[in-house]
Structure 1
């Protein structure tokens, strides 16, 4: 016989002549008596089925109650709610009159068991979940795992930055799991919000006990804790504690053992509860861009949001992935049916204060600024001051030493303040050891700085931070390019120094880490700090070249040039034009580069800066080489060479002779090219310039390749590759690799050669500028042709011709369309 929900066991009970159980249990049976009787009914129901007792699986199928819940109920671990009891006894064969008798007896037994807990209905205080809830699938799965009955910890913490949707997440999960907590679902705000005093533990305990119908509550904290834990260790209740302020406030409210579960939200990390009490913690991150747009679609309507996809994405970014901010934006759109995402973004951009657009009609619980304020007010004075100062910096993330300079504090004090901000989720750690504010928190911090920090201190803080970055950048560049000429500049005062950088690779790693922040610093040097723009840019141009960050190179130097022009500083205007021209030439904008180089030369001549004049002649020569005007290029390189020799300027002489060697090689005068290139190699080796050696040996290797002196070409290209890797000179490294690929092809190792060319090509495409990739692509085409793949070679040549045209390189354009020169037979 199969147990179902249609009462089929009634026939079974009558068949076996059952005695009316409720008549023999007496007037007031205990819960244990009733549970024992239910067990007898399960035995009776299994008769004739080959079982000693009706299984939980069968009973779950008949009642619709999960097996795990039935196990808790029938073992006495959790008091069975009346609706479940009714389903169970009916499934076991009770008729309606017997079911009513069971209900009455169960109510009396439950009251006796709880000793004064009252006989009111099961409390269900959970607020309704937020409308339009979406996403957060991983977080919901983690909550489900953390709340499983078999887990030792009966406390789950959901923590995160203000407005990230902690309460919405918990309520969404709680409603889906409500059936697992038949003895009640409690909700209590612990008072972390603005305008409220946090609820102390004693008051919170009284509220929770009262919610369960307890009439006699002890007056002392210890008595309340004992009563609370005794009651909830015997019941299966979900206790949602919202907006907890601290571990000390929350610890007395935990239920160490039993079936009840505490689910708490907080802006604090509550580290003590995790470390000491074994609580499970979920850190809720901000929503991704896709999740943010999906939430807007759910609240406003998919058609309206998808009609302007770019604007919708920008709107989501403006809200920093905070569901609270997204919901405020959705409400504004719902209130104004003709307001689209694009127009809303424009309105937000026009606001003087970013957070003004995220107000919720005076409702402090839904106002982003008010929500931030409720966390800010709990900070110590030191952490609050650091938070304000962090709002002065417009972008990027900061390490400990930079933050210490911002706040004019020691590293130890700064770390303690950062730890407090991190615990309160008012600062993020996007990378190990680096700290940042998302854009809305930064806007709030800037507002607090403007309101609470005197103008002089705001200026001093920005000066300290920019001074530290400038000092550090200059130290990095000295390691990357130790032989660059130094100008007499005002000294830099730094409040807190970091350990010194010790190598070019370490310096480049530091610049990689700080690139976004340094660019943001240059963008925001107005208000008396403009000098930092061109001093920082002057230190970054070579890094941008080595790493291929072309767009940032051009942007920062345009900003720096504007500062230098407005200040009337002709020297710095000319220097900045020199570096900006190199970026435009790398991009293939030869005409723009030529104009900047002419103006730079005129500026250096006007102020009599000899080194600048020599370098300008070299750069003009490079421009004429790109245009294919080799005679004019030779004339400018020779002028630079004469100036360098007369002034004893080794750097100018090296640049000039590299240029002379290049022009002679392009025009087929290989012996003359070698004279200049070998002299350069001697100069840079005497000076100890590793990067200079990489440049010289690449030049020599290419010249020997064209002369088909493969032994010498291999020697110099291999050493060029080693030297370039030592200083992370990627362009030189990739040119050396491609040249070595050509040598392998000549030796008949076409497969190895193709792999080497492709490796170099792949890495060159990650660098900005089309010229380098075009050169390597032609080398690969030559190797493919030698390997017999004429079709692939021809296609690559077409692509290389396009790249050479984009680079404005006349020689490479011709090389792309001309058939390769075959090496003579050995």
Structure 2
């Protein structure tokens, strides 16, 4: 089963590519992609669900509908719900399907359903639940000697662990995936694993090695024509170059990522690339270009109807004007961010912004 990447922001998770491609297709008609890992834009936490208890409950489906047909219908429905951004409904449909597949002992279908559930939990920010279903997914793949799905499930688990801050553990499971991919000579799996390892290596502070891994990953990803995967890797590469202060290569890679993401309606990766470009251009004194990019960020945030992304726009704009020395405009943007933080009931950001506004020079 092919998979793309699912972490958004500055981390990249890996989603089932069937879902990812469906999402891209939906976006072209007016909706999404994402990882992640959009990871993502304004996650909502739902109550934890005990999957073990759920799949062992007595069945309540109508006897008129064959069980497998009903379970397959629920999975299709769950994928549609996920593509439309209804992660909570996806989980409900997925758990009902899982219950049926368990009763009829369809192991393969259980594994595919765990993939769907993991994507939905990640979208909601339920990282622990995502980890649980991914470990179950890996167990099924190992029991069936399904090496293809082991590659992608291990990558998914690794990126979830990375999001939890368990960087070394993430590196270990992703490296396991890379070993399998190399043994199978699986080009897609190698590209995905190398790209994720580049992100892990960067988090560990070895930026030069992260650059080498990402550049190698690009070769594999371009061989398979995985454009969304290529965008993720370009963003990883841009981030690594940014950390070593190579602004020319930072701008080159983030710029390529931004263009490809825009063409493919991959908004989360487009936003990530824009943020990297703003930082790089500001670092070399290209403030006008940085401001132009921030306006593009605002346009995307409004299109997505995402208060979280609008909040990031206000913060980044305030920081840029503060760097320039225009404290009046900086204060104005911070105050707009403060108003939005209050609407979002984000007490921590509210406190930080109040402090920041008070510390600005009055001139």
Instruction: Report SS of the residue matched to 2:274.
Output: helix
Correspondence for 1:787: 360
> Counterparts of 2:107 and 2:359 in 1: how far apart (Å)?
56
Query: 1:89-108 maps to which residues of 2 (within 5 A)?
Result: none
- Distance in 1, matches of 2:140 and 2:153, equals 10
Secondary structure at 1:716's aligned position in 2? helix
SS at match of 2:102: coil
Alignment match, 2:59: 392
Distance 1:542 1:694, change over 3 A: farther
CA distance in 1, matches of 2:183, 2:351: 43
Give yes or no for the alignment of 1:698 onto 2:275. yes
Whole-Å separation in 1 of the counterparts to 2:310 and 2:98: 30
8 Å contact kept, 1:547–1:730: no
**Structure 1 residues 426-825: aligned runs within 5 Å:** 460-461=66-67, 463-476=68-81, 479=83, 507-509=84-86, 511-519=87-95, 522=98, 525-527=101-103, 528-724=105-301, 726-727=303-304, 735-743=312-320, 745-746=322-323, 747-748=326-327, 749-750=330-331, 752-756=333-337, 759=340, 783-784=356-357, 786-787=359-360
Residue 608 and residue 688 in structure 1: after superposition, are their counterparts in 2 closer, same or farther (change >3 A)? same
Task: Quote the offset at 1:716 in angstroms.
Answer: 1.9
In structure 2, stretches of 5+ residues that fail to align are 1-56
- The equivalent residue for 1:176 is none
Out of 601-610 and 684-693, give the one that drifted further.
684-693
- Distance in 1 (CA, whole Å) between partners of 2:141 and 2:133 is 12
Aligned to 1:407: 62
- Alignment of structure 1 residues 33-182 onto 2, 5 Å: none
Contact 1:695 1:732 (C-alpha < 8 Å) held by counterparts: no
SS of equivalent to 1:743: helix
Larger radius of gyration: 1
C-alpha distance in 1 between matches for 2:307 and 2:138: 27
Give the paired residue count: 302
Shift of 1:751: 5.5
Cα shift readout 1:385-441 (whole Å, capped 9, x = no counterpart): xxxxx9515xxxxxxxxxxxx4376xxxxxxxxxxxxxxxxxxxxxxxxxxxxxxxx
Q: 1:786 to 1:674 in 2, by over 3 A?
A: farther
Give the match's secondary structure for 2:245.
coil
Instruction: Classify 1:549/1:513 alpha carbon distance in 2 versus 1 (closer, same or farther; 3 Å).
Output: same
Q: Matched residues in 2 for 1:647 and 1:522: separation?
A: 32
CA distance in 2, matches of 1:694, 1:542: 20
Q: 2:127 touches 2:160 (CA, 8 Å); kept in 1?
A: yes
Q: Distance in 2 between matches of 1:652 and 1:636?
A: 14
1:120-165: per-residue Cα shift (whole Å, max 9, x none)?
xxxxxxxxxxxxxxxxxxxxxxxxxxxxxxxxxxxxxxxxxxxxxx
Do the aligned partners of residues 751 and 691 (structure 1) sit closer, same or farther apart at CA in structure 2, a change above 3 Å counting?
closer
Deviation at 1:665, TM superposition (A): 1.1
Deviation at 1:721, TM superposition (A): 3.9
- Return the alpha-carbon distance in structure 2 between the equivalents of residues 534 and 762 of structure 1: 40
Deviations 1:526-556, CA, capped at 9 Å, x for gaps: 3413323331232344443343221221122
Q: Specify which structure has the higher proportion of helix.
A: 2
Q: Residue 271 of structure 2 aligns to a residue in which SS?
A: helix
Counterpart-to-counterpart distance in 1, 2:345 and 2:245: 27
* Matches of 2:199 and 2:72, distance apart in 1: 35
Q: Deviations over 1:717-766 (max 9, x none)?
A: 33234325545778766544432332354532325415516846996979
Give the match's secondary structure for 1:678. helix
CA–CA distance in structure 2, aligned partners of residues 627 and 778 of structure 1: 30
Aligned partners of 1:516, 1:754: CA distance in 2, in Å? 40
| TM-score, scaled to structure 2 | 0.70
Quickly say closer, same or farther: Cα 1:584–1:680, change in 2 above 3 A.
same
Check the 8 A contact 2:298/2:310 in 1, yes or no.
yes
Matches within 5 A, 1:302-317: none
Greater share of residues in strand: 1
Match of 2:16 in 1: none
- Cα offset for 1:698? 2.7
Q: What RMSD over aligned residues (CA atoms) do the two structures have, in Å? A: 3.7
The CA distance in 2 between the partners of 1:467 and 1:612, in whole Å, is 27
Distance 2:300 2:189 in 1: 27
Secondary structure of the corresponding residue to residue 508 of structure 1: coil
Distance change (3 Å), C-alpha of 1:516 and 1:474: closer
Residues 645-698 of structure 1 show CA distances to partners (whole Å, capped at 9, x for unaligned) of 344332332222111111111121112101111112222233343444333223
Q: How many Å separate the matches in 2 of 1:764 and 1:588?
A: 25
Distance 1:574 1:732 in 2: 32
1:757–1:524 CA distance, 2 compared to 1 (3 A) = farther
In the alignment, structure 1 segments of 5+ residues that lack a partner are: 1-389, 394-405, 410-456, 480-506, 767-772, 790-826
Of the two structures, which has the highest relative contact order with CA contacts closer than 8 Å and spacing of 6 or more? Answer: 2
Judged with a 3 Å threshold, the aligned counterparts in structure 2 of structure 1 residues 627 and 610 are, in CA distance, closer, same or farther, namely same
| TM-score, with structure 1 as normaliser | 0.33
Partner secondary structure for residue 85 of structure 2: helix
Question: For 2:206 and 2:290, how far apart are their aligned partners in 1?
Answer: 27
Distance 2:221 2:351 in 1: 35
Give me the whole-angstrom Cα distance separating, in 1, the residues matched to 2:141 and 2:242: 38
